Amino acid sequence: MTAQPLRLIRPDRAALSAYVDALRRGWSADNIRGAVAAEEELAAIETDADAFLDRLYDPEGAGPPFKALDGSLVPRLPGMRLWLWDGEFCGSIGFRWPREGGDQPEHGHIGYAVAPWKRQLGYATKAVALVLPLARERGLAFVDLTTEVANLPSQKVITANGGREVARFFKPDAHGGAESIRWRIDL
């Protein structure tokens, strides 16, 4: 199949089989829990695919709380996970934002994961660029992203989109404990 220009699509039934295939091939949008998260998503899709798809696109933050890595239940923020698509599944990008008057997302507004067989094509950089107008539409003045200090490819993605370093910190042990950087892209 000839690749089309990269675009972001709302997860739907038509593309779900490609997403399932990526999960079965070892890809996961969760860069901390990896295969465990992929297995949980496959089970959720098998149980109720429509409910799974609805949870990915939740701009009201109406979905159920999610279980944090420490086991606590955390209220869901408004957000959406969109799929990177060039005629086939390429990865996903998540975008979340605070409720009116609420705190900014602790781990940043944007997170992304490109399928290994679609890396080195500039797709992460393009996906972030495609999400920025959505953030502006939500009235955000900036978006934050976080990377580990050693994750140079993601740092390049962020700086290519105008990101600047705003802080260094250590992730909690439940998130790997690594030294990390908070980046900001002004909108």
Note the pLDDT tens digit of each residue in 124-147: 999 999 999 999 999 999 999 999
Render each residue's pLDDT in the chain as its tens digit; 187 residues. Answer: 557 999 999 999 999 999 999 999 999 998 888 899 999 999 999 999 999 999 999 999 888 887 777 778 888 899 999 999 999 999 999 999 988 878 888 778 999 999 999 999 999 999 999 999 999 999 999 999 999 999 999 999 999 999 999 999 988 776 667 899 999 999 9
Is 145 within a domain? yes
What separation in angstroms does the CA of 102 have from each of 78, 95, 106, 136, 141? 11, 16, 11, 17, 14
Closest to 26 in 3D by CA, of 35, 16, 18: 35
Is residue 113 situated within a structural domain?
yes
For residue 100, is it within any domain? yes
d(CA 143, CA 97): 9
16 within domain boundaries = yes
pLDDT for the residue 106:
76
Q: Locate 84 and state its tokens.
A: 């990177």
Asked if the structure places residue 72 within a domain, the reply is yes
Q: Enter the pTM of the model.
A: 0.91
Alpha-carbon distance 147 to 143, whole Å? 14
- How many structural domains are present in the chain? 1
Is 58 contained in some domain? yes
**What's the mean pLDDT when you consider all of the chain?**
92
- Predicted local distance difference test score (pLDDT) of residue 174: 62
Give pLDDT, residue 40.
Answer: 94
Q: Is residue 85 part of a domain?
A: yes
Say if 1 falls within a structural domain: no
Q: Which residue range is the domain that position 161 belongs to?
A: 7-186
* pLDDT for the residue numbered 32: 80
Half-sphere exposure (Cβ direction) of 1: Cα atoms closer than 13 Å: 8
Q: Which CATH number does the domain housing residue 166 bear? A: 3.40.630.30
**CA atoms in the 13 A half-sphere facing the CB of 166:** 14
Per-residue model confidence as pLDDT tens digits over 141-177? 999 999 999 999 999 999 999 999 999 998 877 666 7
